[in-house]
Amino acid sequence: MGRAFDQLRQSRWLAAGLAGGLGGVIVLLVVLLARSPRDTVILNVEPDHDPNQLRVWVGGEVARPGIYTLARGARVADALAAAGGALESGDTSGLGLAAPVADSDQIIVPARQAAALPLATGSASGPSPPPAIGPININTASAAELDALPGIGPALAGRVIDYREQHGPFQTLDELAEVSGISDRMVDELRALITIG
């Protein structure tokens, strides 16, 4: 009986010790959590760009082709003014100068087309051939003029203009082959139709 009583007393002490130890751990955790600093992080996110402004690309026959930032509500005329205005060789008659521009618009001033004289034919009653067109200057040609060349579509015309704006005027006709998508063979086929000045 004495032995059983000793075992019961020991298990009570053990249970009391465990309960006390567990309680101490809980109290310690509560104190540590209450003391830990709580940093507040404030994020200040700036907008990517001013919502009251828009960016447009102005190219072709203008003084300074490039990307321009304009106030929202700007018109085509404002974009041309930002690019230094149209050159004398530019034809703005097809552009709606009073039209509002939107963000990411591309405004291209084409070159003025010279009036072509009809060629004399041997027969007055027969259809006349298309007027002869002189070589196109690849340093000043608009996207529409470049697009009219055989094998050059709108995409390649845009690349020629981009290359010209990034690297300056073409120094030789062969340099045209450095434009992505134009091969040496294409340059040879276009040689009679293009010039650099």
Tell me: the pLDDT tens digits for 150-187?
888 888 888 889 998 998 888 888 898 898 888 888 88
Q: How far apart are CA 91 and CA 146, in angstroms?
A: 16
- Classify residue 156: in a domain, yes or no: yes
Same domain membership, residue 105 and residue 145: no
Tell me, what's the pLDDT at 119?
A: 46
Angle CA 130–136–137, to nearest 5 = 165
- Classify residue 64: in a domain, yes or no: yes
- Classify residue 33: in a domain, yes or no: no
Tell me, what's the pLDDT at 192?
A: 84
pTM score:
0.38
Band of residue 73 on the pLDDT scale cut at 50, 70, 90: very high
Same domain membership, residue 188 and residue 149: yes
Domain closes at, from 109, 126, 148: 109
Residue 147 structural domain: 136-195
87: Cα separation from own chain's centroid: 25
Q: What's the number of domains the chain is made of?
A: 2
β strands within 37-161, DSSP E:
53-60, 66-71, 106-109, 136-137
Q: How far apart are CA 93 and CA 145, in angstroms?
A: 16
CATH number of the structural domain spanning residue 164: 1.10.150.280
Tell me: the pLDDT tens digits for 104-151?
888 888 888 755 444 444 444 444 444 445 688 888 888 888 888 888
- Classify residue 10: in a domain, yes or no: no
Same domain membership, residue 142 and residue 94: no
Q: How far apart are CA 162 and CA 66, in angstroms?
A: 10
- Classify residue 69: in a domain, yes or no: yes
- Classify residue 119: in a domain, yes or no: no
